[in-house]
Structure 1
Amino acid sequence: MNTNRQIIHMDQDAFFVSVEVRKDPRLIGRPVIIGSLSDRGVVASCSYEARKFGVHSAMPAKLARMLCPHGIWIRGNMDEYSKASHEITAILKERVPLIEKASIDEHYIDMTGMDRYHGTQQYARELRAVVMKETGLPISFGLSVNKTVSKMATNECKPNGQLSVDTSNVRPFLNPLSIRKIPGLGEKTFIKLSDMGVKRIHQLAEVHPEYMTSILGKNGIWLLNKAKGIDDSPVVPYQEQKSIGTQSTFKSDSIDLEAINYLLTTMVMELAFELRQNRKQCACVTVTVRYSTREDVTKQAVIPYTALDSVLIAKTKDLFKQAYQKRLLIRLVGVRLSNLVSGFEQIDLYSESEEQYSLCQAMDKIRRRFGPDAIKLASGMNLNL
């Protein structure tokens, strides 16, 4: 483990709620719940006041209403949350050497080698103050030797806090915490470890590596390292966040718009499935049209973060209409989704109707079982390009 790294984790406090509070200060101190009120709806986010009643994200709306009957429900506006996210990212990018946007509301910053440890701590404080002053949104940070410990430090000092854990204090900080606090530890693994009597991180850190491997496979060592405060994963520069895309060259140049629109729809559905499989969403769609003259025309649009088929298909078709102006034969079309961040469920639980979200889940379940080509649109099945 490199103990000389200086990694800052910055996380917005109840981000969606904070954006709503900025817009309407009357919500300050109130049990605010972002999500849909229907019985099939879910909680996308909630204020800390609502959390005191047991409400949490991804909870069914029906249960949340039972736990917090006086909660103030807001459907939410993904466009506003996306804009606020971009605003914060822009502020941070201007002021740090290396930044990774881990999700819509959290960033990792690598300050290794920039200053002495306490200098970095002071700089993190100043950075946090700048974000709060310029955006009016609360933010917390953790500073430590790697991404795992810094994120856990942030989680321990939220809301509206800051915590530094230096090398000598990594294990003392981690040891008494519940294993639930380890990022990436799922519910099934928690239950399995709890049944073994392993409920605290210090207990997990003492389990023999071979035994961890026997019960959890390769993830056992990964989890054991996290319990010991070991994490060598790098901070990935934001501008190098990968995109995903696909393109199709036609057998012969075509002007069959019905077939082309069907093809674009199929391409987007495949890409959106890949996003959801990787628990990602995108904020930018790019469409490329190559004419028979070999001239390329590209159109791009920034959109609210999403990974839902319906949103991406509509935007892709709109961009294609913008790109296809010359009425010439087309040789190739391509679609690329970029500005990727983590957290599909966090974003899309409410951004579309519950029916759209449920439809995506059902189709993905079929794809995972029978393969990515198991789901096709009925219209256009016989179209050929």
Structure 2
Amino acid sequence: MLLSKDRHIAHFDLDAFFVSVETLRNPKFRGKPLLVGGGSDRGVVAACSYEARKFGIHSAMPMKIARRLCPEAIVVRSDMEAYSKYSHLVTAVIKDTVPVFEKASIDEFYIDLTGMDKFFGCLQFTDQLKKKINKESGLPISWGLASNKLISKVATNEVKPNGQLEIPFGNEKSFLAPLSVIKIPGVGKETGYKLLKMGVETVKVLSEIPMEMMENLLGKSGIDLWRKANGIDETPVVPYHEQKSISTESTFQTDTIDTHFLHSQLVRMTEEIAFQLRQQSKLTGCVTVKVRYSNFETFTKQITIPYTNADHVLLQTAKELFNKLYERRLLIRLLGIRFTHLIPGNYQISLFEDTQEMIKLYQAIDSVKKRFGEKTLIRAVGIGGV
């Protein structure tokens, strides 16, 4: 295992990604308070410009409240197709330039530059990569460079927008010390409130609390938090592979041409792996449907889509692919569906253009499935043949 002093990890984060894409497409938005998300008052804010943030607006806020805080804000309906396109573009630039990288979300990357300091110098290389991304995509991006993923991410957050910061090995604790505890990745509102209530406001104070006490207070997560406060993180950069997938298929007991039955099976399978996507906090950017006929000939059809993990989007896509694929009207013995181009992401981010009611509905459905089993709640059309 490499020592921390031998590791060089860069964290790249596209600044206000959705807003930046909209501004790139329409320069008149530059410098204005811009909100991206659902168009109606029932929608939620997916992203907001730095100008809008000055009014106290933040992502996931109900659009109605955001408009009340800043009546002059410009509201743009989200375009996930465009955001996915630019995400793929930036990913391609990074993939062609660096040896190992991890795509942490649609707009966030970790890059392992360990060993490259012997040849180019990691600081110079990271700076050149930033310029290359900006030149080829037109998007602003910030980066942090440190001995581990934790410190590089916090460094990036401290210099956004359009900033860059290197934290040399040995300076991790002194860098973190004056920061608020809520700036530690993974510290949510509940934990942050508990720490602040105890008088623990800075990372320095948090780092000085004995690990045993942290464990008694927060369980295993307390130990993890103590390690973070002390700048310790051995988490590896997980290489990004486009072809990671979640899939399922079904071979029927009797070959069939019953389209109602086939559609019901497609709905059932799509719901099943879409739920798995959300459980793993992932989004898919590509859907593939497979059909095997009674003569064992197998055909597939796939389509690249805006990143999502929403049933209603994936079901519509799967049905359209099946209808294009099933033209021969022969008996079918197997039907399958696969999601690829997976990246980390959650429901609130991927479905921000929907209403709060839609988001709450999906959260309630997933809560029931998680508690009682994923087959306890399915669409009626998916019951056929089960």
Establish whether TM, by shorter chain, passes 0.5: yes
- Give TM class, smaller chain: over 0.9
Contact 1:140/1:160 (8 A) holds in 2:
yes
Name the aligned partner's letter for residue 297 of structure 1.
F
Contact 1:43/1:349 (8 A) holds in 2:
no
- 3-state DSSP of counterpart to 2:117: coil
The residue number in structure 1 matching 2:381 is: 379
The residue number in structure 1 matching 2:173 is: 171
Aligned-residue offset at 1:352: 4.0
The residue number in structure 2 matching 1:92 is: 94
Distance 1:305 1:247, change over 3 A: same
CA distance in 2, matches of 1:118, 1:143: 15
The residue number in structure 2 matching 1:318 is: 320
Aligned mate of 2:331, from 329, 332, 336: 329
The residue number in structure 1 matching 2:75 is: 73
The residue number in structure 1 matching 2:114 is: 112
- 3-state DSSP of counterpart to 2:6: coil
The residue number in structure 2 matching 1:348 is: 350
The residue number in structure 2 matching 1:222 is: 224
CA distance in 1, matches of 2:216, 2:141: 40
1:139-172 C-alpha deviation (Å, 9 max, x unpaired): 1111111111111110001000000011121111
Q: If the length of structure 2 is used for normalisation, what is the TM-score?
A: 0.95
CA distance in 1, matches of 2:326, 2:120: 56
1:327-357 C-alpha deviation (Å, 9 max, x unpaired): 2222211111111112224532434455543
Aligned mate of 2:154, from 128, 142, 152: 152
The residue number in structure 1 matching 2:287 is: 285
Aligned-residue offset at 1:21: 0.6
The residue number in structure 2 matching 1:357 is: 359
Distance 1:125 1:167, change over 3 A: same
Q: What stretches of structure 1 of length at least 5 have no aligned partner?
A: none
- 3-state DSSP of counterpart to 2:287: strand
CA distance in 1, matches of 2:31, 2:282: 31
Contact 2:144/2:153 (8 A) holds in 1:
yes
Q: CA RMSD in A?
A: 1.8
CA distance in 1, matches of 2:167, 2:382: 58
Name the aligned partner's letter for residue 92 of structure 1.
I
CA distance in 2, matches of 1:187, 1:242: 32
The residue number in structure 2 matching 1:40 is: 42
- 3-state DSSP of counterpart to 1:225: helix
Distance 1:167 1:118, change over 3 A: farther
The residue number in structure 2 matching 1:267 is: 269
Contact 1:291/1:331 (8 A) holds in 2:
yes
Aligned-residue offset at 1:192: 1.8
Distance 1:118 1:379, change over 3 A: closer
Paired residues, number:
384
Q: What stretches of structure 2 of length at least 5 have no aligned partner?
A: none
- 3-state DSSP of counterpart to 2:156: helix
Name the aligned partner's letter for residue 56 of structure 2.
G
CA distance in 1, matches of 2:224, 2:245: 26
Contact 1:248/1:332 (8 A) holds in 2:
yes
Contact 1:33/1:46 (8 A) holds in 2:
yes
1:225-268 C-alpha deviation (Å, 9 max, x unpaired): 11111111111111167321111121222222111111111111
CA distance in 2, matches of 1:170, 1:118: 23
